[in-house]
Structure 1
Amino acid sequence: MKTLIDLNADAGESFGRWKLGDDAALLPQVSSVNVACGWHAGDPATMRHSVELAVANGVALGAHPGFPDLAGFGRRAMALSPSDAADTCLYQYGALRGFADEAGARIAHVKPHGALYGLTLRDPDVATAIAASITKADPTLLLVLLAGPTAERVLADGFPVAREAFADLDYDDNGHIIIEPVPEAKDPEACAQQAIDVLNGRVTSVNGTTIEVDADTICLHGDRPNSVEIARAVRARFAQHGVSTAAMHEVVAARGR
């Protein structure tokens, strides 16, 4: 069982007067945060506030670029070529970097959101193009990809990758996550158990299939109605098992890849 892991959260997803999630309560529970960059969610004021929250809580800061789909929250599929997908991520990373630079913070990682994340699984060339683009901008940036064949391929190509698993999403029999159009509350203890399963190198699909998983980071979703309760349950379970959390870069460095 692994005893060192990053716990990350997708956050910064409010927009204008519409608030989504309780980032102020969630961020103290995690070691990394993925901040929406204005295309699927977020806006300049929310991005600034999210960066400030990350700095105040000592949380590693990441960009969370998505499709230009506010109405669908970036969870509806779009057709992008590898170069278009790379430009999409680089553009949004640059937007968040402006706020990070002003706050004296650095962006540590980039994690595609929603349907864009799914596109990296369906088209591995998209994942490679994104990795090449963001590492050209900053060679220290980690690209967050679903733990499995795509992540291993991009790693083999020489790009820095953090392999991700999920505590609050179901898996299908192929080891892919099942993205909900509208997240509902989930049993915090069941999510905590799935996080422990990940540390033991496996998850169970919705059909009962055991899937091997080798992850550097475990994700929670800030837009889930009880995300804070889930995060606290996960942290409590980690404490019971002697598991420590650290930012992605530290976890990846500790495993030597």
Structure 2
Amino acid sequence: MKIVVIGGTGLIGSKLVARFGEHGHEAVVASPSTGVNTLTGEGVKEVLLGADVLVDVSNSPSFADDDVLAFFRTSTENLVEAAKEAGVGHYVALSVVGTERSPQLGYFRAKVVQEALIRGSGLPYSLVHATQFFEFAEAIAGTSMVDGVVRLPDVGVQPIAAEDVAAAVGRTAVGKPLDGMLEVAGPEQLGFAEWIRTVLTARNDPREVVADSEGRYFGAELDADALLPRDGAQLGQISLADWLAQAR
């Protein structure tokens, strides 16, 4: 099976390429560094020739609201057009749990647009919604500093290891198209502040982390369950403690 991985050099993409190769599939890395630019369309049609599956785990280089919307709209339009022309049999895209529940977040709005384009393409597809990655904890802390303190919304999260995300996307890619959405999450529900504090403590980072009823996530106020998976989500195997132990 020929599987083209858009964003194949990134955190999830590189893990997917390795997994597909180990299972005997032809995994093709597609990214600007390999001559495939989904924004300009350069190399997109060529890389998809003969592909059975397209897996899109790419991300916008800028998270500014207008930039991320332009990225996902333009990239997905180019990918859909090329996938149709190439006769791709399965379009798989990685998205985020809660996109449809938090339209106040510009990134989530952009992902909703991406998903709508895929749903409306007529191509067989699967959407994998994942919760926040363990690997992003320190970056989230950095964007949540207020007067020297990491202030986070007083909400629950169920973060997941990137390895478990890659496993879920990989299983989906080699299976039958869902023509729908699958949610994946970590095995434990935690408080947002609890999660970030645990990671920073393990990293010997002395920053104070507090749960604040006025806290914001990338500038947005969140409902209590905005970032949590719904019933029926697939759960990963790697706990936060296991991930921290492996990451040392």
Question: Higher relative contact order at CA 8 Å, sep ≥6: structure 1 or structure 2?
Answer: 1
Larger Rg: 2
Regarding TM over 0.5, the answer is no
Q: Structure 1-normalised TM-score?
A: 0.37
Under a length normalisation based on structure 2, what TM-score does the superposition of the two structures give?
A: 0.38
